[in-house]
Each structure stands twice: as C-alpha cells, then as structure tokens.
Amino acid sequence: MANLATQFFGLELKSPVIAASCSMTGDLEQIKKLAKAGAGAIVLKSLYEEEIDTQLQEELSQRKALEPDPEYLDYFDYIIKDENLKDYTGLIRQAKQAVEVPIVASVSCISQSDWVLFSKKLEEAGVDALELNLFLLPANLEKSGEANEQFYFNTVKKVLEVVSIPVTIKISHYFSNLAAMIKALSETGIAGISLFNRFYSPDIDIQNEKMISADVLSHASDYLLPLRWTGILSSQTSCPLAATGGIHSAETAIKFLLAGASAVQVASVLYNGGTEAIAGMNQEIATWMDAKGYDKIDDFKGKLAIRDKHVALYERAQFMKYFTQKDF
C-alpha cells in the first residue's frame, strides 16, 4: 500500500491528514479516537488569552453579590490564567501519555508577554510542536497595515527566542500583499505555515432583524481560497505549508497535496463524519495513490504547484469571458 508519510510541524507524520485545532481536540477521549483513526498529528484546541479574560470578567461579575473584597477580585487576575494554563498543560501531559501521534499545542494571545509565557509553559509540558494561532482582525482604523504586519513578525520572533521545539503559524488571508507577507514569514525560522484559519463570522437573520452567528462549520467549496494560495506559494516559501478550510474529502486533500501542501488540517469533517472521517480519508488517499502508481507523497506533492505554466491559472481572478467555457 502507498506510504502516506509526510513532514510538517518539523516532525515526521504518518499521514498528511491532521486533526485541526477545534473543541474536539480539547478533549482527551476524542484525542484518543483521533489517534486511533490515524490522524497524522493532533493540534489541541487553542489556549486563548482572550478567553481567559472573558472568564475573568464572568467571574468578576458573579462575585458582586458576595460583597467582595477587591483583594479577592485581584486574585482572579492571576489565578484564572494560572488555572487555565494548568488545565492545558495537564491535557498535554495526558495526551502525550495516551497516544503516540504527535501532539501540537495551539496558542493565541494578545500581549507579547503572554505569547512568551504560554509558549514556554506548553513546551515545558512536553508538547511536540507549537502552532501560533495568529490573528488580528484588521478593523482598527487608527492602525496602519504595516503596524499590523509587525505584530506577526514580533510575535514569531519572541516565541522563537524562548522555545526550542518547532513552531508553526496559522494565519488568515487578511493581508494587503498576501504572497509577500507569507514569503517573509516563512523566512523567520518557523517550521511551517497553515493557510487559512477559519473564524467565527457574524451573519444577519432578516426575519428577526438580528445579528446571529454564521455557520460554524465550513462548506465543501470553501477550499478554493486556500487552494489558490497554496498553489501560488508552496514552491516559493522557505518552509512547508499546510492547508485548512473546507477540506471535507480525500479528493480535496489530494488537490492540496498536488498544489504543494505538505499536509491538510481538518475540523468540520470531524463534526460531520466523526473522528472516523480521518481513517476514511487516509484510505481513499492511499487507494488513489495506488491507482496512480505513487508510492509516497513526495512522488506527486507539488506537481501542480505554480510553475511558469501554471502562473496564469493560479493568478487569474476576474471572470472574464475568455476563461470560462460557458456563457454566464
């Protein structure tokens, strides 16, 4: 049978299908199931500084009724963070004991000091690699694009200074010159980049004229955005790429490998099809490879990455008549 081994997170992975960071990967039982299903790696649910702050605010608002002493309120400033870190490092230790597959921790912070602190603590807990879930919604009118970009470089630099395990980043596509940005980031010493994170999105309910949450899970066509950029960038970056977003089938996963991704990260498919979805994808990728006569991933990885002949195909954007077969 075809060999599905690949490399990402600076690690050898047995499969290119990675369980992406999501609520499932924050639970030990699910982690065991994902390992059993053959995930190449498991990225734990992100540890969010912002979430810790939200918890703090909740705790503070509940305390009012108890006629609190502010000394006790100050206590939560430190303790909630500490407890969250302890829970998270506890999960890492348990997961490392329970499964063989590489365990990757995911962090998302606001302040540089917490990026540093959290990264150190997670490394100490024995995680195999770190994924920095880096995101700034570029909605601040006062901040320049350059300042936003600086946040990414500063954070990567700070974290790389304090940890020695491999560090990868997961980013969005909100950059004015996406290709140049990703290329520059790939040269910072990181072990990989995952394109692109999926976020909570607001939507509107027209019946009740209310803001609501858009679908949390991705749609099968969402993969087109990361596919283009994987194709454009995979042969030009200094570190490997992984793709995420709308990868719901082995077929889509194979497209990404052809476009040059070293691995794919999946989440929605796990909610739709259970952890077993990974086993199915591994099986189908292998079957396809066998049918195509590929022994290993490297035999076809990047076959359709941007090359001179593909530039136009990846970079065309407007629906000019010239590109379409049918008349719309």
Ligand X SMILES: Cc1cc2nc3c(=O)[nH]c(=O)nc-3n(C[C@H](O)[C@H](O)[C@H](O)COP(=O)(O)O)c2cc1C
63 contact choice in another protein, ligand X, none (CB below 5 to 8 Å, kind-dependent):
another protein
| Residue 311 C-beta: closest distance to ligand X, Å | 27
- Answer whether 279's CB lies under 8 Å from 231's CB: no
One residue of 5, 73, 217, 225 binding another protein per CB under 8 A: 73
Which two structure tokens, joined as six digits, stand for 11?
Answer: 């690690």
- Answer whether 269's CB lies under 8 Å from 39's CB: no
64 contact choice in another protein, ligand X, none (CB below 5 to 8 Å, kind-dependent):
another protein
Stretch that binds ligand X, among 210-218, 228-236, 272-280, 288-296 (CB under 6 A): 210-218
Per CB under 6 A, which of residues 66..125 are in contact with ligand X?
A: 106
Q: Does residue 71 belong to the site contacting another protein (CB under 8 A)?
A: yes
One residue of 85, 125, 258, 269 binding another protein per CB under 8 A: 85
One residue of 266, 281, 297, 305 binding ligand X per CB under 6 A: 266
CA distance linking residue 315 with residue 327, whole number of Å: 21
- Answer whether 107's CB lies under 8 Å from 46's CB: yes
By C-beta, is 61 or 164 nearer to another protein?
61
| Residue 106 C-beta: closest distance to ligand X, Å | 5
Q: Is 166 helix (H, G, I), strand (E, B) or coil?
A: coil
Helix, strand, coil percentages in the chain from 3-state DSSP, rounded to 5: 50, 15, 35
Q: Does residue 243 belong to the site contacting another protein (CB under 8 A)?
A: no
Q: Does residue 22 belong to the site contacting ligand X (CB under 6 A)?
A: yes
Total residues at the site for another protein (CB under 8 A)? Answer: 32
Contact partners, residue 196, CB within 8 Å, separation at least 6: 170, 171, 172, 173, 225, 226, 229, 244, 245
